[in-house]
Structure 1
């Protein structure tokens, strides 16, 4: 098993602390303590908190790309691949109920702070948007593909926010079922539309 460098450990712990406690509330000391290193050793790797934030965003971008690539490879049909995204709400429900969506919460916090890194954090959301747009295009919904992708992203973010507010697991399950039904309905509509064109 490859050895994890101190720098990688710092980025990993900072990622967790930024998610669970917020970027602004997390100090150098908090991260150093979580990694188990001295402040001096910490400053050897990162001189400023914004440098850590940039590394955390890059890590999340890489992990998101890997996840999307996995869904693309494993999903036999566009519907299956879209369901992989929808089911994130179920898979990560415990952490979502406790801390919200990791991407959404970071984007919101950086926007409130008017932080220069906000647009880079938003690029993670853009990865999901573009990938989902591709899936809806593969379903034949060319003109509506991006709108469908944005609707699904908006719905999932709303579920994450309300789940964090009310800590209601059954709410997540109901919404995931409703989103899945919405997906199947628009696929059925698309199939009927294509049938009318061909007949």
Structure 2
């Protein structure tokens, strides 16, 4: 029962921090959302930083599970990378309203110079490492990390502008362009490795 209550608190905190930001989200907000007393709340979390740790760990676990699902579902590395690109559409409504959950938290903690800013950045590192592995499997070798960072950076830019302008059409168009960019990279590599194909 205690573990279940703790999980409900972290889940509620995760959503509130995403929607409103870490700094303005209070114990009272989270307790009211979960429907528990402040005393019960303090039994599970003593400080706001304890809650933040729980939220970051939850996001890391959820991200790892998502990446594992993409590994299983994707028939090849290119398809898996497209799964990453298409998450902008899957989460499009949330992104247009609140921005990217990873990017917004990292930015806020950096502005606050919070000790957990590197923990939040670990979410980006998960994506970076995973994307790098997909590009390596495609045969890009030493260029893999550069390509991973490019697509990660571009997706963050798209999320930021889609949020700023609340523009669904822009988001979809950019996803199409990112997929076309990926296809061009793969075709260019194939031509480089097989010059007789040109």
- TM-score, scaled relative to structure 1: 0.97
Q: Distance in 2 between the 1:186 and 1:132 partners?
A: 14
Q: Which segments of 5 or more consecutive residues in structure 2 lack a partner in the other structure?
A: none
1:48: how far off? 0.1
Partner of 1:164: 163
CA RMSD, 1 decimal? 1.5
1:109-166, Cα deviation, whole Å (9 max, x unpaired): 0000000000000001000000000000001001110000000000000000000000
Q: Distance in 2 between the 1:19 and 1:99 partners?
A: 7
Map 1:172-183 → 2, pairs under 5 A: 172-183=171-182
Runs of 4+, deviation exceeding 4 Å: none
Partner of 1:93: 92
SS of the aligned residue for 1:143 comes to helix
Q: Which segments of 5 or more consecutive residues in structure 1 lack a partner in the other structure?
A: none
Partner of 1:103: 102
CA shift in 2, pair 1:197/1:49, >3 Å: farther
- TM-score, scaled relative to structure 2: 0.97
Q: Distance in 2 between the 1:46 and 1:119 partners?
A: 21
Map 1:25-174 → 2, pairs under 5 A: 25-174=24-173
SS of the aligned residue for 1:23 comes to coil
1:3: how far off? 10
CA shift in 2, pair 1:197/1:114, >3 Å: farther
